[in-house]
């Protein structure tokens, strides 16, 4: 199982440096900005469009902020906002697991708790924050139950954005969250999203690039079944045996590319 990130853990950049605990902690939780939400990648969203875990947490916090205000829910707002901001901190070292990874729930829980503890044990009130995270994980308060549903709502809203951008068909996410929302107001939002989705029946993934498609930022082309397909550098599982590279690489045959010129290395 490979966890895809934009960069390595920023805390590694502090190796050999003695600094304040809050700076160390920041370099650790900054990794949430580097960590892609793996589920989107697994469903075909390219890395250049894929949100980070930090962006997801920000969306959860904003939804909680406004929905508590809109619906005047009788909840401890301060606790909800704190939970929203720390609920994914355990993914810094553990990574972002998805159902496809088939990781045992107890193993996932322990990995994330160990990650959280590693970050927070250098800060004041460590036990308070760990207990708050535990409360969210167990869903044993009204605030935790609310935020766990907001976490799913943010995901389905992001899925709707991706579908409107025609980046992928994300039906699986709508199906898997169909029974999640127990709060009537959140059920109404989910139903409105489904209606919006049904009305936008033109939603479909972007077509695969082919020889007729002009691409301004590709790195190389692949010859496949007598056609030339544009392959973006972010795509994985490229068979280098069939790749014709540009720059200083000499291709096996000349290709008149809509992106770059192959077959010569003229300055």
Per-residue pLDDT tens over the stretch 110-138: 999 999 999 999 999 999 999 999 999 99
The CATH number corresponding to 10-199 among 1.10.357.10, 3.90.1150.10, 2.30.30.90, 1.10.3210.10 equals 1.10.3210.10
Name the residue ranges covered by the structural domains of the chain.
10-199, 207-267
Query: pLDDT for 73-104, tens place per residue?
Result: 999 999 999 999 999 999 999 999 999 999 99
| Whole-number Cα distances in Å, 244 to 46, 88, 226, 230, 233 | 22, 41, 14, 11, 13
More confident residue, 148 or 210: 148
- What predicted TM-score, i.e. pTM, was given to this entire model? 0.75
* pLDDT > 50? residue 263: no
For residue 200, the model assigns a pLDDT of: 81
Report the C-alpha gap between 124 and 106 in whole angstroms: 27
pLDDT (average), residues 211-224: 41
Determine contact, residues 6/34, Cβ cutoff 8 Å: yes
Task: Provide the pLDDT confidence category of residue 223 given band limits of 50, 70 and 90.
Answer: very low
Average pLDDT over residues 205-221: 43
Residues 6+ apart with CB under 8 A from 49: 162, 165, 167
pLDDT value, residue 206: 52
Alpha-carbon gap, residue 45 to 160, rounded angstroms:
13
């Amino acid at each position: 199982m490979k966890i895809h990130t934009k960069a390595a853990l920023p805390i590694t950049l502090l190796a050999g440096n003695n600094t304040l605990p809050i700076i160390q902690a920041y370099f650790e939780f900054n990794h949430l900005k580097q960590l892609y939400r793996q589920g989107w990648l697994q469903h075909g969203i390219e890395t250049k469009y894929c949100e980070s875990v930090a962006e997801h947490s920000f969306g959860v916090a904003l939804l909680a902020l406004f929905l508590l205000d809109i619906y005047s829910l009788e909840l401890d707002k301060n606790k909800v906002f704190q939970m929203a901001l720390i609920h994914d901190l355990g993914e810094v070292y553990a990574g972002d697991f998805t159902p496809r990874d088939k990781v045992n729930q107890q193993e996932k829980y322990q990995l994330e708790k160990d990650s959280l503890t590693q970050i927070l044990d250098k800060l004041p009130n460590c036990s308070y924050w760990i207990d708050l995270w535990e409360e969210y994980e167990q869903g044993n308060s009204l605030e935790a139950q609310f935020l766990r549903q907001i976490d799913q709502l943010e995901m389905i809203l992001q899925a709707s954005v991706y579908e409107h951008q025609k980046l992928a068909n994300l039906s699986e996410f709508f199906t898997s969250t169909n029974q999640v929302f127990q709060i009537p107001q959140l059920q109404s939002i989910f139903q409105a999203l489904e209606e919006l989705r049904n009305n936008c029946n033109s939603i479909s993934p972007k077509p695969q690039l082919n020889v007729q498609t002009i691409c301004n930022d590709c790195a190389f082309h692949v010859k496949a079944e007598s056609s030339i397909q544009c392959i973006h550098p972010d795509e994985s599982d490229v068979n280098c045996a069939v790749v014709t590279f540009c720059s200083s690489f000499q291709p096996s045959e000349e290709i008149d590319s809509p992106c770059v010129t192959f077959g010569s290395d003229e300055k």
